Amino acid sequence: MTTDIGEFAQEFFQEIISDSDARGEFTEDIFFEKFCDHLMAAGEIDSADRAAYQSPPRQGIRVDGYGGEPDSGCLSLIVSDFHQSPDISRLSGTEMDRILERPSRFLRKVFDSQWRNALEETSPAFGLADLVCQRWAETNRVRLFLISNRELSSRIDGRVADAFDGRTVSYSVWDIRRLHRFATMGHGREDIEIDLEKDFGAPLPVLPAHQSKGRHESYLVTVPGIVLAEIYDRWGARLLEQNVRVFLQARGKVNRGIRKTIETEPAMFFAYNNGLTTTAESVSLARSDGSLLLRRIKNFQVVNGGQTMASIHAAHRGKKDMSEVFVQMKLSVVDAERAAEIVPSISEFANTQNRVSAADFFANHPFHVRIEEFSRRIFAPSPDGTFRESKWFYERARGQYADARALLTQAARKKFDLEYPRSQLFSKTDIAKYVNVWQGKPHTVSLGAQKNFADFASAIGREWEKDADRFSETWYREAVAKAIIFRAAERIVSNQAWYQGGFRANVVAYAIAKMGHDIGKSGGSVNFEAVWKCQSASSGIEAAITLAGGMVHEILTSPPEGISNITEWAKKQACWERVRALSVTWPIELADGLMSAEEKRSAHSHGRRGQKMLNGIQAQMAVVKAGSSFWTEALAWGREQELLTAKEIGIVASATQIPTRIPSEAQSVKVMDVLGKLRDAGYPRQL
């Protein structure tokens, strides 16, 4: 990965410029989007919506967007400082204060009804102002973010929090150096350093739950509810990034039970609650009067019990008495190098009280591994008729693309860029967006990358369990075709006379979803294979998107009474119902890019058969590579635990004859299935 901040700044700037040219958007909009992607990845905000407003200079009011969750009690306002140069320039403390004062003024002006009503009703600024007023009673703190591709002076420590209308107002500056540090440190979050002794009253007694020579450390801890609430108040959802339940709604039965216990029987909380399963990269311990004390925790993560933690925090915020609330916590210390391997397993095995799809433990889920493998192997057809073919690069883990380029020589990097153009890079959240619009979920896509991805993960998990073979090369090519259409729609919308900036992402999602809905209703399907072969959308599809875009824009910018924020209106099922009910006379040429439903089923059936054959080959290779001794030991363990049926014993026994006899592809698939059963029961050896 690039370590030089100057090179990083240049690449970041060029990425913004190239995306701006390709997508027909202002560089400031692209800067906001890309920078906020990092803020969301860092856990600073849960979502980011563009809502740009800038007053005449003498008034000094500006805001570029907002983020966060409506029910979190926190309002996040974002202001941008985009320097139109790849060279790093200095951001002084005086400039920082002046820029941060602009969203502060916006916040104060929001409550001036005369000023607010003077804004254009369909503008993002009016929508944001109205939203702030509506939710102010539930807001208990405000965070103002400054994002900049300049470098903040090293003499500036930060800006002291203050207050407005009884709410704490804190400030966070993300300059190019902080962004570089985050992006190049293993693509993880910025370190979470919890000092129990200094910041949370006192260290906590712990009980070791590991042998001295074990590969990792484990501890049992009893944590006061007030301490958990204060930790969550400081770091919020960043503590839950490994936790599949971060996406579950706070209105679930488990949360209602937690809240009821806190309110009516706080002394019984420890007895009733399952507690937390947590991890950390390292801990600092001390001994006092014969007791072992936990003093500090680095990169603390809640992999099971996120609902418990968030509910305790909500109760604390609601002024509930937490003095009798205590929570049992299992803490596993896992070093950073092994975290990617071990933490998903801890999370998967810990989350058993409610069924959770395996796709929720996502980056390492076989779906993503398979899509990544396709993207490294399958060449896309050359759109210009030359012999130079390229590939689409699927980034299942953040930073894979940059890592792949970083260690190459200059000549090798040029070759890499030709094979994997940056314009053909797509991520997990991208594929979730491209697929979900065709599933009739533009309102879900409008919720933002993280929530849309959660919905996608759940659906993919269910589908994978039913029929993993449907995710074949055919499915992959279709997903890339959907990416091509989505990006074409972005360009088309930007070029329309009615488009005045703002809400483009919502218009694109709804226009494609409406087109897909009507095509499906008529019994047809887009010929995604043709889009893949041409690496472009047909003229008929583009004409249809142009038509739908204008009609959708009209509905989005005309929300029903009581809703002023267009972005929030786009997130509602009612908005999709209104768009879906539209009567559209589609362009005649759209038919040229369609295929029948029967043709689509045939293509997917063929792809499924091909994937099944590929699975057999891969299983046979894995079985043979493991060798007879591996399978002899697995068979003995399974027998000792009395886990295997007579048929399963015979299946595994066939693999113990390697290399004298080689199991067939079909036998190998069954052998791997039995191994999965043994692992579920605790068999420790890995292939």
Domain that holds residue 312: 193-354
Q: For residue 190, how many other CB atoms are within 10 A of its CB?
A: 14
Q: Nearest-CA neighbor of 487 among 474, 473, 505, 503?
A: 505
Predicted local distance difference test score (pLDDT) of residue 168 = 84
Q: Using a pLDDT cut of 90, give the percent of the chain over it.
A: 33
pLDDT of 640:
85
pLDDT at 482 (0 to 100): 96
Cβ partners under 8 Å of residue 138, min gap 6: 71, 73
Who has greater pLDDT, 508 or 458? 508
More confident residue, 595 or 246: 595
Q: For residue 201, what pLDDT is reported?
A: 87
Same domain membership, residue 328 and residue 222: yes
CA distances from 638 to 232, 477, 599, 641 (A): 43, 41, 46, 5
Q: For residue range 602-617, what is the model confidence (pLDDT) as tens digits?
A: 766 665 665 655 566 6
Same domain, 586 and 638: no
**Looking at the structure, do residues 116 and 216 belong to the same domain, yes or no?**
no
31-40, 212-221, 317-326, 522-531: which has the minimum mean pLDDT? Answer: 212-221
Could you tell me if residue 453 is inside a domain? yes
At 105 the pLDDT is 94
For the ranges 182-191, 264-273, 341-350, 605-614, which has the lowest average pLDDT?
Answer: 341-350
Asked if the model's pLDDT at residue 542 lies above 90, the reply is: yes
Element (H, E) at 484: helix 473-494
Q: Are residues 534 and 572 in the same domain?
A: yes
In this predicted structure, what is the pLDDT of residue 247? Answer: 36
Q: pLDDT tens, 199-258?
A: 888 999 999 887 665 556 889 999 999 999 888 877 776 676 544 433 333 334 445 677
Average of per-residue pLDDT across 519-546: 92
**β-pairing, 217-224 with 326-333?**
antiparallel
State how far the Cα of 551 lies from the Cα of 548, in Å rounded to an integer. Answer: 5
- Is 164 in the same domain as 268? no
**What integer pLDDT is reported at residue 608 of this predicted model?**
61
Q: Contact, 296 vs 195, CB < 8 A?
A: yes
Ranges 221-230, 421-430, 448-457, 475-484: which has the least confidence: 448-457
- Is there a domain that residue 609 lies in? no
pLDDT at 187: 45
Whole-angstrom distance, CA of residue 481 vs CA of residue 399? 23
Q: Which two tokens stand for residue 423?
A: 């314009």
Q: Any idea what DSSP says for residue 662?
A: -
Distance CA 119, CA 431 (A): 36
pLDDT for res 384: 64
State percent of the chain over pLDDT 70. 86
The stretch 544-557 carries a mean pLDDT of 94
Q: Quote the pLDDT of residue 359.
A: 35
Residue finishing a domain among 292, 324, 354: 354
What pLDDT shows up at residue 357? 37
Here the tokens at position 440 are: 């009739």
DSSP labels for 583-614? Answer: -----GGGGGGEEEHHHHHHHHHHHHHHHHHH
687 falls within a domain:
no
Residue 685 lies in a domain: no
How far apart CA 544 and CA 537 sit, in angstroms, is 11
Beta bridge partners of 427: 395
**Between 3 and 504, the higher pLDDT residue:** 504
Q: Give yes or no for residue 449 having a pLDDT over 70.
A: yes
486 and 374 in a common domain: yes
Is 361 a domain residue? no
Distance of CA 435 to the CA centre of its chain: 15
Please check whether residue 47 is in contact with residue 67, taking contact to mean a CB–CB distance below 8 angstroms.
yes
pLDDT given at position 233: 78
Does residue 610 lie in a domain region?
no
Number of domains in the chain: 4
Residue 80 has pLDDT above 50, yes or no: yes
Q: Taking 70 as the threshold, does the pLDDT of residue 291 lie above it?
A: yes
Residues 54 and 126 placed together within one structural domain of the fold: yes
Whole-number pLDDT of residue 250: 35
To which H or E segment does residue 554 belong?
helix 539-556
Residues 504 and 378 in one domain: yes
pLDDT, residue 617, reads 66
Q: pLDDT averaged over the chain?
A: 83
Are 151 and 222 members of one domain? no
Q: Which of 354, 376, 407 marks a domain boundary?
A: 354
At 337-393, the pLDDT tens digits run: 555 555 555 555 544 444 443 333 456 678 888 899 889 988 888 876 555 779 999
Does a structural domain hold residue 622? no
End-of-domain residue from the set 184, 201, 228: 184
E strand or H helix that includes residue 553: helix 539-556
pLDDT at 614: 55
For residue 254, what are its two tokens? 């488990």
- For the question of whether the overall pTM of this predicted structure is more than 0.85, the answer is no
Q: Is residue 399 very low, low, confident or very high in pLDDT (cuts 50, 70, 90)?
A: confident
Which residues are 289's β-sheet partners? none
Nearest to 79 by CA among 55, 115, 56, 51: 51
Q: What's the pLDDT tens digit per position in 86-130? A: 899 999 989 999 999 999 999 999 999 899 889 888 888 898 999
Statement to judge: residues 569 and 641 lie in one domain: no
Indicate which CATH number applies to the domain containing 105.
3.40.1350
| 586, 518 Cβ separation under 8 angstroms | yes
pLDDT score of 603: 65
**Could you give phi then psi for residue 365, rounded to 5 degrees?**
-65, 145
What does the block give as tokens for 37? 């992607």
User: Is residue 561 located within the same domain as residue 429?
Assistant: yes
What's the pLDDT at 446? 93
Q: What is the mean pLDDT of residues 320-331?
A: 90
Q: Which of 250-259, 631-640, 673-682 has the lowest mean pLDDT?
A: 250-259
Identify whether residues 229 and 156 lie together within a single domain. Answer: no
- Mind listing the pLDDT tens digit for each residue in 509-526? 999 999 999 999 988 889
In a domain, 359, yes or no: no
- Element holding 232 (H helix, E strand): helix 225-235
10 Å CB burial of residue 154 (0-12, 13-18, 19+) is: exposed
| pLDDT tens column, 484-494 | 999 999 999 98
Secondary structure element (H or E) that encloses residue 133, with its range: helix 124-135
pLDDT band at 2 (very low <50, low <70, confident <90, very high): very low
Q: How confident is the model at residue 69 (pLDDT cuts 50, 70, 90)?
A: low
pLDDT band at 634 (very low <50, low <70, confident <90, very high): confident
The string of pLDDT tens digits covering residues 140-155 is 889 899 999 999 887 6
The pLDDT of residue 309 is 81
